[in-house]
């Protein structure tokens, strides 16, 4: 099954557009999580508790790389595949290079870690994207408009009447998506651009970070970003779910937070459906 | 000593602007290099043979990550620090993220690997750069205009009368370089932009990939990019040096190639000096 098929099935069967970001920061772990396998124990507990509410998991490689914990990342992804094989794994790596180097990054994400999809940075142009696209069963999720305030600095520049990020979206839809394996990152903090990008790219999946802690509103995201089937969004939450609790019941707290987010997203979907009907 | 001081001293004492890129691809190794430590053996042989001709080494992390060889990257960098401590190590990672994630990438490059400098992708804006800048003794080398033909796609877009890459250069010189630890990547294949960028950024170091295999000419690079002291360039060569020979004398072949490149660069520097005098 391709990434896109797996994702569409998860949206449907889980009745969820919520993605759980796995950003394990030992400094924020509850005190009951410690020892050599602390990160893995924490990740497994969060994954098992939130899987029922999620459409995908998104491990952030930087949190593993900072502490030399690549093996823990491999084991975290293995755990998802073994215990929740219906949920796609998006490796958040934001890689961006060219030629053989880009091929090596594609190998890292898809062969070594076995990710279903990976995030990629388009600054170097289509040359960056192509080595990833060759893995036709995997997803290539291109940074388009990121959630941070400073994304305006270059992504928001107006060039020939459209922003750099809209130009990226146009390339993604028009040139890079021939095998139907491309998606885009669009931050929840830019609902105006989210709507413009949705209008440009049809039913292409959009990965949306930046709700909650970063200030993006769920209603506006659903309103602006939902596709013609009432799906199309991978709405990510990392910290607000992972660190919802700080005691031994942290996994239950994470599950409650995830359940609440899914329900708020679904409430707005239903409102939107009724509005559209 | 800061990265910039170390680099300036290396330019001077080595009489070289040549950087050796360490992109170890086992499929291209001479048949005499094999076994579990093949990558490390290859890297050490290349490093020891070329150090006398170089101003810096630039390991490309993707080649290690693709095969789960992070420990080999650590040992390669340790080898440079132990045996050639006067030569700065530039980790080519092109990381780009925000907030805590960017902090984690800075830790990966500077704390875990102990790199003197790291390459960073500016697509997400200044938010990406700042967590790296806090390491004031290290270098932050921002992608500006990359060497690939496709870099025109976004970096070459004209916004308010200047290209995106010039805008990056302007931000780098005007906002990000307060601690004097910023440098830029400008491909050898764009001598026109290299000259414009040099004019914008004063004596800021420029890392220049793309000579040789990628087609950039040394004369044009030196002419366009040299700074007011006759230095300012970190001219990288990876494949043409690493794979100059394919037999048991591969390290000698690499040294000969590096020596030739350094000499060609220096010949153009001297010509340029005479022209300017």
Res. B274 pLDDT band, cuts 50 70 90: confident
B168-196: average pLDDT? 97
Contact between B148 and A164 using a beta-carbon 8 Å cutoff: no
Mutate to test the interface with B, among A74, A75, A97 (most CBs of B within 10 A): A97
Instruction: State yes or no: pLDDT of B12 exceeds 90.
Output: yes
Distance from CA of A25 to the nearest CA of B (A): 9
Mutate to test the interface with B, among A27, A66, A114, A141 (most CBs of B within 10 A): A66
Res. A55 pLDDT band, cuts 50 70 90: very high
Contact between B62 and A150 using a beta-carbon 8 Å cutoff: no
Res. A277 pLDDT band, cuts 50 70 90: low
Instruction: State yes or no: pLDDT of B177 exceeds 70.
Output: yes
CB A180 within 8 A of CB A158: no
Q: In b/e form, how buried is each residue of B105-136, taking b as 16+ CB within 10 angstroms?
A: bbbbbbebbebbbbbbbbbbbbbbbbbbbebe
Instruction: Tell me whether residue A74 is exposed, middle or buried, using C-beta atoms within 10 angstroms of its C-beta: 0 to 12, 13 to 18, 19 or more.
Output: middle
Q: Which two tokens stand for residue A194?
A: 């989210």
A106-125: average pLDDT? 98
Task: Name the least confident of A91-95, B156-160, B241-245, B251-255.
Answer: B156-160
Residue of B nearest to A167 (CA): B154
Q: Please, what is the average pLDDT of chain A?
A: 95
Share of chain B above pLDDT 90, in %: 93
Q: Is B171 a catalytic residue?
A: no
Instruction: State yes or no: pLDDT of B47 exceeds 90.
Output: yes
Report pLDDT digits (tens) over B52-105.
999 999 999 999 999 999 999 999 999 999 999 999 999 999 999 999 999 999
Mutate to test the interface with B, among A58, A60, A100, A130 (most CBs of B within 10 A): A100
Contact between B151 and A94 using a beta-carbon 8 Å cutoff: no
- Within 8 A by CB and 6+ apart from A98, the residues are A124, A127, A128, B146, B147, B148, B150
Q: Which of B58, B94, B130, B171 is catalytic?
A: B94
Instruction: Tell me whether residue B244 is exposed, middle or buried, using C-beta atoms within 10 angstroms of its C-beta: 0 to 12, 13 to 18, 19 or more.
Output: buried
Could you tell me the sign of the dihedral formed by the alpha carbons of B27, B112, B99, A235, in that order?
A: positive
- Within 8 A by CB and 6+ apart from B235, the residues are B17, B18, B19, B188, B208, B211, B218, B221, B261, B265
The values of phi and psi at residue A148, to 5°, are -70, 150
B115-130: average pLDDT? 97
Q: Which of A154, A180, A178, A153 is nearest to A168 (CA)?
A: A154
Contact between A104 and B151 using a beta-carbon 8 Å cutoff: no
- Chain B residues near residue A70 by CB distance under 8 angstroms: 68, 70
Place of tokens 């004019």: B199
Contact between A154 and B107 using a beta-carbon 8 Å cutoff: no
A253 vs B59: CA distance, rounded Å: 43
Instruction: Tell me whether residue A184 is exposed, middle or buried, using C-beta atoms within 10 angstroms of its C-beta: 0 to 12, 13 to 18, 19 or more.
Output: buried
Instruction: State yes or no: pLDDT of B277 exceeds 90.
Output: no
The values of phi and psi at residue B185, to 5°, are -95, 125
- Three-state SS at B137: coil
- Chain A residues near residue B59 by CB distance under 8 angstroms: none
Counts of helices then strands in chain A (DSSP H, E):
12, 10
Could you tell me the sign of the dihedral formed by the alpha carbons of A130, A134, A137, A138, in that order?
A: negative
Res. B207 pLDDT band, cuts 50 70 90: very high
Distance from CA of A26 to the nearest CA of B (A): 12
Contact between B125 and A164 using a beta-carbon 8 Å cutoff: no
Distance from CA of B187 to the nearest CA of A (A): 11
With vertex at residue B19, the alpha carbon angle to CA B43 and CA B144, rounded to the nearest 5 degrees, is: 120
Q: Please, what is the average pLDDT of chain B?
A: 95
Contact between A157 and B160 using a beta-carbon 8 Å cutoff: yes
A172 vs A180: CA distance, rounded Å: 10
B16-41: average pLDDT? 94
Res. B276 pLDDT band, cuts 50 70 90: low
**Inter-chain Cβ pairs, chain A and chain B, closer than 8 A:** 161
Contact between A112 and B66 using a beta-carbon 8 Å cutoff: yes
Reduced 3-state DSSP string for chain A: CCHHHHHHHHHHHHCCCEEEEECCCHHHCCCCCCCCCHHHHHHHHHHHHHHHHCCEEEEEHHHHHCCCCHHHHHHHHHHHHHHCCCCCEEEEEEECCCHHHHHHHHHHHHHHCCCCEEEECCCCCHHHHHHHHCCCCCEEEEEEECCCHHHHHHHCCEECCEEHHHHHHHHHHHHHCCCCCEEEEECCCCHHHHHHHHHHHCCCCEEECCEHHHCECHHHHHHHHCCCCCCCEEEEECHHHHCCCCCCCHHHHHHHHHHHHHHHHHHHHHHHHHHHC
Nearest to A154 among B112, B150, B164 (CB): B164
Contact between A25 and B100 using a beta-carbon 8 Å cutoff: yes
- pLDDT at residue A212, as a whole number: 74
Number of residues that this document lists for chain B: 277
- Three-state SS at A127: helix
Q: Give, as one character, the DSSP assignment of residue A175.
A: I
- Chain A residues near residue B100 by CB distance under 8 angstroms: 23, 25
- pLDDT at residue B215, as a whole number: 65
Q: B138's torsion region: left (phi>0), alpha (psi -120 to 50) or beta?
A: beta
Q: Which two tokens stand for residue A56?
A: 């995908």
Contact between A100 and B23 using a beta-carbon 8 Å cutoff: yes
Nearest to A62 among B25, B105, B125 (CB): B105
Res. A275 pLDDT band, cuts 50 70 90: low
Give the DSSP H or E segment for A194.
helix A191-201
- pLDDT at residue A35, as a whole number: 81
Distance from CA of A159 to the nearest CA of B (A): 5
- pLDDT at residue A276, as a whole number: 62
Report pLDDT digits (tens) over A200-213.
999 999 999 999 76
CB A140 within 8 A of CB A129: yes
B169 vs B172: CA distance, rounded Å: 5
Report pLDDT digits (tens) over B238-263.
999 999 999 999 999 999 999 999 99
B44 vs A79: CA distance, rounded Å: 37
Q: Which of A6, A58, A94, A271 is catalytic?
A: A94
Mutate to test the interface with B, among A25, A121, A242 (most CBs of B within 10 A): A121
- Chain A residues near residue B21 by CB distance under 8 angstroms: none
Nearest to A66 among B104, B122, B147 (CB): B104
B212 vs B221: CA distance, rounded Å: 12
Q: How far is CA A142 from CA A130, A194, B161, in A?
A: 11, 14, 27
Distance from CA of B229 to the nearest CA of A (A): 31
């Amino acid at each position: 099954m391709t990434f896109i098929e797996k994702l569409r099935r998860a949206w449907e069967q889980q009745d969820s557009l919520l993605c759980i970001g796995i950003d394990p920061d030992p400094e924020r772990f509850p005190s009951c999580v410690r020892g050599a396998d602390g990160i893995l124990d924490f990740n497994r507990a969060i994954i098992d508790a939130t899987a029922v509410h999620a459409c995908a998991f998104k491990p952030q490689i930087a949190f593993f790389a900072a502490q030399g914990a690549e093996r823990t990342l491999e084991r975290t992804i293995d755990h998802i595949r073994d215990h929740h094989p219906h949920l796609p794994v998006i490796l958040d790596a934001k890689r961006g290079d060219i030629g053989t180097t880009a091929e090596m990054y594609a190998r890292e994400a898809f062969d070594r870690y076995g990710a279903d999809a990976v995030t990629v940075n388009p600054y170097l142009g289509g040359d960056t994207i192509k080595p990833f696209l060759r893995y036709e069963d995997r997803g290539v999720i291109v940074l388009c408009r990121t959630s941070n305030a400073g994304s305006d600095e270059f992504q928001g520049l107006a060039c020939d009447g459209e922003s750099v990020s809209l130009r990226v979206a146009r390339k993604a839809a028009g040139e890079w998506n021939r095998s139907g394996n491309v998606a885009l990152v669009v931050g929840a903090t830019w609902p105006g651009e989210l709507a413009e990008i949705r209008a440009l790219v049809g039913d292409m999946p959009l990965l949306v970070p930046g709700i909650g802690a970063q200030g993006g509103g769920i209603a506006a995201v659903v309103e602006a970003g939902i596709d013609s089937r009432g799906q199309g969004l991978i709405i990510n939450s990392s910290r607000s779910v992972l660190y919802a609790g700080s005691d031994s019941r942290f996994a239950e707290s994470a599950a409650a937070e995830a359940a609440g987010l899914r329900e708020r997203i679904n409430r707005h979907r239903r409102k939107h459906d009724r509005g559209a009907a």
